[in-house]
């Protein structure tokens, strides 16, 4: 399926992002977020679920909620916790992270009420920036442990959203929170995904497909 240019154009004209009064993704209104907390005491963080290195000292660590289903995201500088925030059920896992970041924002992929969402935190203090529901054209997602979740080049996040018989790839600009494009990927399982010098690639069905990071257009396979 080709990029829906009308919907992408509508998003660009809307000029809405993390800081917009009503975040819009592919023409659909986003559900109210709620549930944002900067955590100081309770509830309590449990064991680490995932660790994503930022540089030689800093890392983003995701911890489960002790006795609950939510998750804590914390920025660590060595052994020091710079900040910690509570979010809904974390959608990532070791090997398939649900985190993307740049100098401005940290996006966290979560699952709430059976739907995929992004929560955005300010990198410097974990304050709320905004968020959005992903793939609002579809029904509830499938939490597939084999599928990639979030891919990032630290400029954009590329979110793989999966349902019982569908997959969608959504690109989000991390600095602004604007949805850039989406592609419907069909029903076949996604084996792997990543970003390289050619673009965003998805390994699915008969082989690899590559998309331009800024537009989502198909990138021809490199000549051999």
101-133 pLDDT, tens per residue?
999 999 999 999 999 999 999 999 999 898 999
pLDDT of residue 67 exceeding 60, the answer is: yes
Query: Residues 67-104, buried b or exposed e (16+ Cβ, 10 A)?
Result: eeebbbbbbbeeeeeebbbbbbebbbeeebbbbbbbee
- Domain positions in the chain: 5-211
CB 79 within 8 A of CB 90: no
Percent of the chain with pLDDT over 70: 81
d(CA 153, CA 102): 9
Name the band, by pLDDT with cuts 50, 70 and 90, for residue 76.
Answer: very high
Residue 14: its H or E element: helix 5-14
CB 11 within 8 A of CB 24: yes
Q: 83 or 223, which is more confident? A: 83
Percent of the chain with pLDDT over 90: 72
What one-character DSSP code corresponds to residue 220?
Answer: P
State residue 107's pLDDT score: 97
pLDDT of residue 203 exceeding 70, the answer is: yes
pLDDT of residue 8 exceeding 50, the answer is: no
């Amino acid at each position: 399926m080709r990029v829906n240019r009308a919907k992408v154009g509508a998003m660009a004209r809307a000029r809405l992002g993390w800081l917009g009064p009503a975040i819009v993704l592919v023409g659909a209104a986003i559900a109210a977020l709620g549930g944002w907390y900067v955590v100081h005491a309770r509830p309590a963080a449990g064991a680490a679920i995932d660790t994503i290195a930022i540089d030689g000292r800093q890392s983003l660590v995701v911890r489960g909620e002790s006795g609950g289903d939510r998750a804590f995201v914390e920025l660590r500088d060595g052994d020091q916790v710079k900040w910690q925030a509570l979010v809904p059920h974390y959608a990532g896992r070791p090997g398939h992270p649900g985190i993307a970041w740049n100098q401005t924002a940290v996006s966290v992929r979560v699952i709430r009420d059976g739907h995929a969402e992004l929560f955005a935190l300010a990198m410097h203090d974990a304050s709320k920036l905004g968020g959005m529901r992903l793939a609002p054209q579809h029904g509830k997602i499938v939490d597939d442990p084999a599928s990639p979740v979030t891919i990032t080049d630290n400029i954009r996040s590329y979110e793989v959203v999966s349902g019982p018989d569908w997959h969608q790839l959504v690109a989000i600009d991390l600095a602004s929170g604007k949805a850039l494009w989406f592609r419907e990927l069909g029903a076949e399982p996604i084996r792997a995904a990543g970003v390289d010098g050619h673009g965003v690639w998805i390994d699915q069905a008969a082989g690899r497909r590559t998309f331009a990071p800024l537009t989502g257009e198909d990138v021809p396979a490199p000549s051999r």
